Amino acid sequence: MSLVELAFVVNGESVTLSVPPFATLLDVLRDDLELTGTKYGCGEGECGACSVILDGKVVNACLVPALECEGAEVLTIEGLAFGGKMHPLQQAFVDHGAIQCGFCTPGMIMAAYALLEANPSPTEEDVKRGLEGNLCRCTGYRKIVDAVLSFAGGGA
């Protein structure tokens, strides 16, 4: 199998690597770059566990062909932390008990981050819409919504 060179920016760092032509962004993040915070859930874009920010938009990394990321900027859950400290949005999830088993948490946080970048003062309904496509089997979503609203200054 022939490999194809891919160059893009991940969490602020330029990377160049050789990947199979059929690799997904999720494959490259987890297997090649060892950024395992982005989770493999369904592999079909239904659960949101693999949500990352690609050129400013939240995407399901399991559906994005890696080669489409040539020259792009990708932000993963690992890229939110700075100087060994969690991003305040990550901390809000911890403080509100919105992490439960933790499997959906990275995708939820990335979807919430994208929402808050576009709308720093969302309503509860905005948060619910912004998190559509990200499934959680543990919390019933209330704690997740509360965490996002608390970070946005909307109470909870």
Per-residue model confidence as pLDDT tens digits over 145-154: 999 999 997 5
pLDDT at 3: 96
CATH superfamily of 4-80: Beta-grasp domain (3.10.20.30)
- In this predicted structure, what is the pLDDT of residue 154? 53
| pTM score, whole prediction | 0.93
Please indicate whether residue 39 or residue 155 has the higher confidence score (pLDDT): 39
Higher confidence at residue 112 or residue 101? 112
Q: What pLDDT digit, counting tens, does each position of 116-138 carry?
A: 999 999 999 999 999 999 999 88
Residue 85 identity (one-letter amino acid): K
143 phi and psi, to 5 degrees?
-65, -35
Confidence of residue 156 (pLDDT cuts 50, 70, 90): very low
Query: What's the whole-number mean pLDDT along residues 90-98?
Result: 95
What is the CATH number assigned to the segment(s) 88-152? 1.10.150.120
pLDDT at 139 over 80: no
In three-state secondary structure terms, 48 is: coil
For tokens 């900027």, the residue is 73
| d(C-alpha 40, C-alpha 50), whole Å | 6
Rounded mean pLDDT, 3-16: 98
Counting Cα atoms < 13 Å in the Cβ hemisphere of 147 gives: 26
* Banded pLDDT at 155 (limits 50, 70, 90): very low
Q: Kindly give the residue spans of alpha helices, DSSP state H, lying in 51-155.
A: 77-80, 88-95, 105-118, 124-130, 142-152
Using DSSP, how many helices (H) and how many strands (E) does the chain show? 6, 5
Which residues have C-beta within 8 Å of that of residue 23, sequence separation ≥ 6? 65, 66, 67
Q: What percent of the chain has pLDDT over 90?
A: 89
Q: From 9, 22, 137, select the one nearest 76 (Cα to Cα).
A: 9
- Domain layout of the chain by residue ranges: 4-80, 88-152
Q: Which has the closest alpha carbon to 141: 119, 111, 108?
A: 108
- Residue 75 has a pLDDT of 98
Residue 67 has pLDDT above 90, yes or no: yes
